[in-house]
Structure 1
Amino acid sequence: MGKGDLTIKCATESDVPRLLTLYEHLVPEDARPDDASAIEAFVQFHKYPGSAIFLGEVSGALVVSCALVVVPNLTRRTRPYGLIENVVTHRDHRQRGYGLQVLDAATNAAWSFDCYKVMLLTGSKDKGTLNFYARAGFEQSKTGFEKRRIPVRS
């Protein structure tokens, strides 16, 4: 998948070290896991059919990513739903439409697995971030709640 100078693909195990480096732009204060633990989590992640981590590259450099989890469901005539998490763009590549493109790729993948909806949460109160998700076609139509074992990012 590619549009303009961005090429989008699904991550493989060999992409995990690069992905961990990109995630430093998402939560800079998080400790980086070792590659073996991250690969084990990557393998577990893929046990949900349809789930994928989408990578966007420019000239071979990883600049954007998001994860889609396709969750089996007993309602909506057993149609699954999609959850998008870990949306991140390298700080040097923001404001170029790459985030919109990777979210479109994840959403289209969810539709191809017959998901009846795709959801994402953000802890950001920044108007720019909220407008970004609205431009990507997401609407604030629900109220989210969570219980956490680690503190909310500041």
Structure 2
Amino acid sequence: MLGELIIRDAVTADLQALQSLYQHLSTGDAVCSPDEAERIFARLLLYPGSTIVVGEVDSRIVTTCTLVVIPNLTRGGKSYGLIENVVTNADWRGFGFGRQVLSAATERAWAAGCYKVMLMTGSTKPQTLAFYERAGFAQSKTGFQIRRHPVRPD
């Protein structure tokens, strides 16, 4: 029987589990040292409303996304949210956990006064795009990027 998904904001003690979970996002990706991960996490939290949202089942983190609330001088000074690093452990996909963690991040953005929440994906897989649409996101803008390092394979 599957345990209940508990959604909460990450704490420093979660960083090792998050580093492991991120391997499901990009296998073989470089991993920060524990000290560097703590420094980066502390910097993220300096932006009010910004957090790493985690979903755990039976005390194991199985899904996550990062929300950054960005101050803004347009839209009457209303901030906007940016979601990144959306990932669910491959063994836990298909249960709706990723959608729940995205919903929680979006609610946190609204609570922080954001007027919109954005995310981008490099994936072209139909199931990935359908996942984001089922989570309430519309493919309504054109994204551009410039990268210092090559794009990881889909």
**Residue 142 (structure 1) aligns with:** 141
Residues 1:35 and 2:23 are matched in the alignment:
no
- If the length of structure 2 is used for normalisation, what is the TM-score? 0.96
Q: Distance in 2 between matches of 1:117 and 1:31?
A: 31
For 1:116, give the aligned amino acid.
Answer: Y
- Structural RMSD (CA): 0.8
SS of residue paired to 1:40: helix
Calculate percent identity across the aligned residue pairs. Answer: 54
Name 2:14's counterpart in structure 1: 15
User: For residue 85 of structure 2, what is the aligned residue in structure 1?
Assistant: 86
Q: TM-score, normalised on structure 1?
A: 0.96
Which residue is 1:65 aligned to? 64
* Residue identity in the other structure for 2:16: P
CA distance in 1: counterparts of 2:43 and 2:135, whole angstroms: 28
Q: Distance in 1 between matches of 2:31 and 2:117?
A: 28
Number of residues paired by the alignment? 151
SS in 2 for 1:14: helix
CA offset at residue 26 of structure 1?
Answer: 0.6
CA shift at 1:153, angstroms?
A: 0.7
Equivalence for 1:106: 105
In 2: Cα distance, 1:33 partner to 1:111 partner: 30
**Once the 2 structures are TM-superposed, how far is the Cα of residue 39 of structure 1 from its aligned partner?**
0.8
Alpha-carbon offset, residue 32 of structure 1: 1.4
Could you list the per-position Cα deviations for residues 15-34 of structure 1 after superposition, in whole angstroms to 9, with x for gaps in the alignment? 11111111111111212111
Distance 1:82 1:112 in 2: 11
How far residue 87 of structure 1 moved from its aligned partner, in angstroms, is 0.2
Deviation at 1:64, TM superposition (A): 0.1
Q: Which consecutive residues of structure 2, in runs of 5 or more, have no partner in the other structure?
A: none
Q: Match for 2:147: what amino acid?
A: R
